[in-house]
Structure 1
Amino acid sequence: MRMSKLYLLIALATCGHALAGDLALTPWAPGLKAEAVAFLPNSPERLAAGARDGLQLLDRQGAELARFKGNFSSLDTRAAGAQVVAASLDNDRQQALLINLDVAGRRFGKPLYLPTRDFAVNGLCLYRDAAANLFVFLVGEEGKGEQWLVGNGATLLSEAQRVRGVPLPPSAQFCQVDDATQQLLVNEENIGWWAYPAHPEAEVKRTPVALFDTPRREAGAMASVPGGMVALDPKTSELHLFQHTGERWVEQSSLSLPGLKEPEQLTVNGRQLLVRDDDTGALYQATLDWQAQPVAAVPVLPEVAAVRQTDPVGRQGDAADDPAIWIHPGQPAKSRVLGTNKKQGLLAYDLDGKLLQELAVGRLNNVDVRPNFKLGQRTVDLAVASNRDHNSLSLFSIDRQSGELREAGEVPTPLKEIYGICLFQPASGEIYAIANGKDGTFLQYRLSAPDGRAQGELVRQFKVDSQPEGCVADDQRQRLFIGEEDVGVWAVDARADQPATLANVIKVGPQLHADVEGLALYQSDKRDYLVISSQGNDSYLVVDAEPPFAVHGAFRVGLNAAAGIDGASETDGLEVTAINLGGPWSQGMLVVQDGRKRMPEQTQNFKFVPWADVTRALKLP
């Protein structure tokens, strides 16, 4: 049996001998005048975009089946239930549009137009995430790129929502997304091809696919294929085949495109390929016999959505850090969420996320609360935060009826770089603050205010080997959980008169990704859980709060398209309560800091998630 030329080239390339040969091209639909063509998912039909004939549904021979009038260029498609959604550029309106196509019924639906941009859009591509959200990326001039939310499942939104700006190469014209690996592929005309994370909550960074520094090369259009990418070089009239191997991209082989002077557009479906010669406008088809090695798909964690979010904090950059939940003793629906702004002070929000108070007392990092603190002759609830301006503990009284916060004094510490803090309140009622420094030192203070002024008595000191931050105390079991950012989570006796012997809860590894950040306890009549911010993979791990600390899984806080709330990522602090706060919080509330505020892009904030949704997502007992 004769091995095809392309298969032989790939076989040789994997041994380090990349060769070039000719790809057998045949003309396709000679009479068709199209700027771009695309295969339709799960269908033999094809789609074309052109200046004269608009959007055309075509059979495999190129005969027209349906038309949407207009002047269009650039094209991408995704399955949308029983239909197909197409994205294109309306050149007359200078706007991107999305449109559903009923292939069986041969009908185009009503278009969804994105708002007119303040830059010229060169190209676009679609991306569907693991939660079935549909996005479109716009590739603009001078490095301007944007990601827009346009649909969910089979439904297009009534109005597109801008998610974020994406800085792209200044000469980019083409993009494609591999949904399975969540990679956005973009060209840089005189440099090469790049891969970016496509997920809206991902860090903005890029990985080179292939780079060159010779004027004899040019990076053109590309097509995503399972395990890799097919890309055009218009100057050499070559097709390049790249394999995605972990963090690296490797060129497997190249093929010449004989007879094509300016190969411009490219689309691939399995082994089928269509390419357009910009010199003549002619379209050609070919059969590929290239098979990339399978690439492990990105692990898909269950997602829950925030149903409320706070007003953005009043400082740019890495500002919001750690939340705490104050429970109103008589009317839980009047409870408040406290949050630190480590460039400003302490913030207080209602359960809808509206800012109620702003105490500009300095760079506060972590905060925790406990009830029934004697402040002179008054009984108040107490919030304590780590103050990085003074390496001290900042105390705040909380009026038990109104929820109003007031400064209640400061306790100095010898820590050189104070960082995290949590409170411990045993059954006897006194309140302890456990603060840590970046050098691993923990200091435990007994707090009091007999004459109305805050005091702290140092009662215990211990140390871990590297930088900690998050901690939370289980008052009932007198157990303290501490997070060592690059190591894992430890448990230690919270009582001041007991030795600080560390017991392993969970180490950084496949389930918990450094940095280990916020820790919180969900405590109900049924079960107690420790919730951990696994910052390294933007997830939250749920673990039994009792030995052997069984892991129940991890989840992410994803986008809520209906409410217009973005997901959460790069989370520092978090808090959770099992108290019924009413409304969506009948089974409790989870609050997480959002390190990357999208949709729209603003300063950081905090997201509110119903715990009932976490229970369902992880099937918690």
Structure 2
Amino acid sequence: MTAALAVLAGLTAAAPATAQGRKSGPLPAVTPVAQTATLFDDEEGGNANADDPAIWRNSADPDRSLVVATAKQGGLRVYDLGARQVQALPAPSGPGPDDSPGRFNNVDLVHRMRLSAGRADLAVVTDRGNDRLRFYRVDRDRPGGPLTDVTAPTVPPVFSASQEEINDQRTAYGLATWTDKATGRSYSLVSRRHETRLALLELTAAPGGTVGYRLVRTLDLPSSFRLPNGTSWSPCGEPGERPQVEGMVVDPADGTLYAGQEDVGIWRMRADLTSAPVLVDRVREYGVPATYDENTEECTPGADPGFGGRRLSADVEGLTLVDEGDGDGYLMASSQGDNTFAFYDREHKDGHDAPEDGPRTATGFKFVDLGKVLDALDD
């Protein structure tokens, strides 16, 4: 197996392909080549819930590449390309017994960042429980495991002003990393849970080979939208919660950030957050009025006015890039509402879908041959 791999987080039970259009016929389906051991989101299972993966490519020996994946309160899991676990790292506890525990939400990679101890590849993680970023140095052949925690002990909360705010959990959530080609500086873009805010953080070398960060700027996406019929619409949710972003990715070719606002769609903007965001695709539910029911904690939708998109069903979840060289390739988006994936040409807004799936909550990661995915797109 090579490092040409897509890793998908989802429930371990297999689901058949669904026929939801693609000009004609069913959506293409690709069978996983490997699957991790099941994680369980309960006390016996260490409250581990498979969520977000990143693939670290071993340039010297691609077959010895690694998948770094978050398991929320269960911390981090590291797998080889055969989906075998090679390391498990716990999330840190909260500062006090009554404070929120660490909860790792998203992970991304930074390559060859200059630290005081030399250049290193880093896995960067949002610790949603503590509202901080955490950093792990990648060393494939280290005897104790390939990841070593190199988080500077003084890193501040990303969004919160106090521990009380942290405990409310409007904290660091989605994540993308970016290295500016012009300056060589590395950054993380972080979204805030239950809010529309994005933050740009510059990653900094700290003493002892550790890593910290500083806030550069923030940007707030809209939470209310003007519809073509002249009315105003906001996605339905619990009172006080705004439509959050989770999935994000930066195109290194031109520094473009794509951000998935879960109940709205996919935004495009400059990764330095200095341009006006453009909504490039909408979820099917965009513009549908809905009423929140406090008893069921669910939204009851009204009539669809027909302003939504065709490819995505809320939530828009993960985003990643498939690079085919010379600026060619795809933006890949997971459409959680219908268990499919949408692919968008990086130059032309087009795409079609391929499926993914779902009583103790059992989750895991499926390893898919990326070559077969691309072949399915061309069929």
**TM-score, normalised with respect to structure 2:** 0.70
Q: Which structure has greater strand proportion? A: 1
The alpha-carbon deviation at position 425 of structure 1 amounts to: 1.0
Q: Does 1:478 align with 2:255?
A: yes
- Could you tell me how far apart the structure 1 residues matched to 2:261 and 2:54 are? 20
For this pair of structures, how many residues does the alignment match? 285
1:12-51 correspondence to structure 2 within 5 Å: none
Paired residues of 1:530 and 1:545 also in contact (CA < 8 A):
yes
Q: Do 2:130 and 2:171's aligned partners in 1 also have CA atoms closer than 8 Å?
A: no
Partner of 1:614: 373
Shift >3 Å, 4+ stretches? 314-318, 400-403
Give the CA deviation at 1:379: 1.5
Is the contact between residue 48 and residue 75 of structure 2 (CA under 8 Å) also seen in structure 1? no
Counterparts in 2 of 1:349 and 1:492: CA distance versus 1, 3 Å = same
Partner in structure 1 of residue 292 of structure 2: none
Secondary structure of the 1:472 match is: strand
Tell me whether 1:201 sits opposite 2:2 in the alignment.
no
2-side partners of 1:490 and 1:298: how far apart? 24
Q: In the alignment, is the contact (CA less than 8 A) between 1:514 and 1:535 conserved in 2?
A: yes
Cα drift, residue 400 of structure 1: 5.8
**Letter in structure 2 aligned against 1:319:** N
What's the CA shift for 1:441? 0.9
Aligned to 2:320: 520
* 1:490-569 paired onto structure 2 within 5 Å: 490-495=267-272, 499-509=274-284, 510-525=310-325, 527-546=328-347, 549-556=348-355, 568-569=356-357
Q: TM-score, normalised by structure 1?
A: 0.44
| 1:400–1:348 CA distance, 2 compared to 1 (3 A) | closer
- Comparing 411-420 with 338-347, which one deviates more in the overlay? 411-420
Query: Is there any run of 5+ residues in structure 2 with no aligned partner, and where?
Result: 1-11, 92-101, 161-169, 224-242, 285-309
Distance 2:366 2:335 in 1: 16
The gaps in structure 1 that reach 5 residues or longer are 1-162, 165-199, 203-296, 557-567, 570-595
The offset of 1:374, in angstroms, is 2.2
Q: Is the 8 A contact 2:64 2:81 kept in 1?
A: yes
- Aligned-pair CA distance for 1:504: 2.2
Instruction: Tell me, yes or no, if structure 1 residue 328 matches structure 2 residue 127.
Output: no
Secondary structure (helix, strand or coil) at the match of 2:372 reads helix
Over residues 5-41 of structure 1, what are the superposed CA-to-partner deviations in whole Å (9 max), with x where a residue is unaligned?
xxxxxxxxxxxxxxxxxxxxxxxxxxxxxxxxxxxxx
What is the aligned-residue RMSD (CA, Å)? 2.3
Q: Partner amino acid for 1:423?
A: T
Letter of the aligned partner of 1:609 in structure 2? V
Counterparts of 1:487 and 1:298 in 2: how far apart (Å)? 20
Cα distance in 2 for partners of 1:318, 1:348 equals 13
Residue 604 of structure 1: aligned partner: 363
1:406 maps to which residue?
Answer: 148
Contact kept in structure 2, 1:483 and 1:517, CA below 8 Å: yes
- Give the corresponding residue for 2:131: 391
Distance 1:536 1:382 in 2: 32
C-alpha displacement of 1:318: 7.6
* Match in the other structure for 1:69: none
Q: CA deviation at 1:201?
A: 2.9
Contact 1:329 1:400 in 2 (8 A): no
Amino acid in the other structure paired with 1:305: T
Equivalent position SS for 1:303: coil
Structure number with greater CO (CA < 8 Å, separation at least 6) is 2
Structure with the greater alpha carbon radius of gyration: 1
For 2:28 and 2:375, locate their aligned partners in 1 and report how far apart those are by CA, in whole Å.
10
Could you say which residue in structure 1 is the equivalent of 2:191?
436
Task: Work out the CA distance in 1 between the residues paired with 2:325 and 2:279.
Answer: 25
1:504–1:407 distance in 2 versus 1, CA, 3 Å? same
Q: 1:328-347, aligned counterparts within 5 Å?
A: 328-347=58-77
Looking at structure 1, the residues matched to 378 and 353 of structure 2 have their Cα atoms a distance apart, in angstroms, of 11
C-alpha spacing 1:359/1:461, structure 2 compared with 1 (3 Å): same
Alpha-carbon contact 1:462-1:500 (below 8 Å) kept: no
Partner of 2:266: 489
SS of alignment partner, residue 536 of structure 1? helix
Deviation at 1:545, TM superposition (A): 1.9
Trace 1:296-335 onto structure 2 (pairs within 5 A): 299=21, 300-313=26-39, 315-316=41-42, 319-335=49-65
Aligned partner of residue 409 in structure 1, secondary structure: coil
CA distance in 2, matches of 1:398, 1:298: 41
Q: What is the alpha-carbon distance in structure 2 between the residues aligned to residue 444 and residue 616 of structure 1?
A: 36
Shift of 1:378: 2.1
In structure 2, the residue matched to 1:460 is 217
Q: What is the CA distance between 1:515 and its match in structure 2?
A: 0.4
Distance 1:389 1:516, change over 3 A: same
Structure 1 residue 552: Cα displacement: 2.6
Is the Cα contact below 8 Å between 1:426 and 1:476 reproduced in 2?
no
The percentage of counterpart residues that share the same residue type is: 33
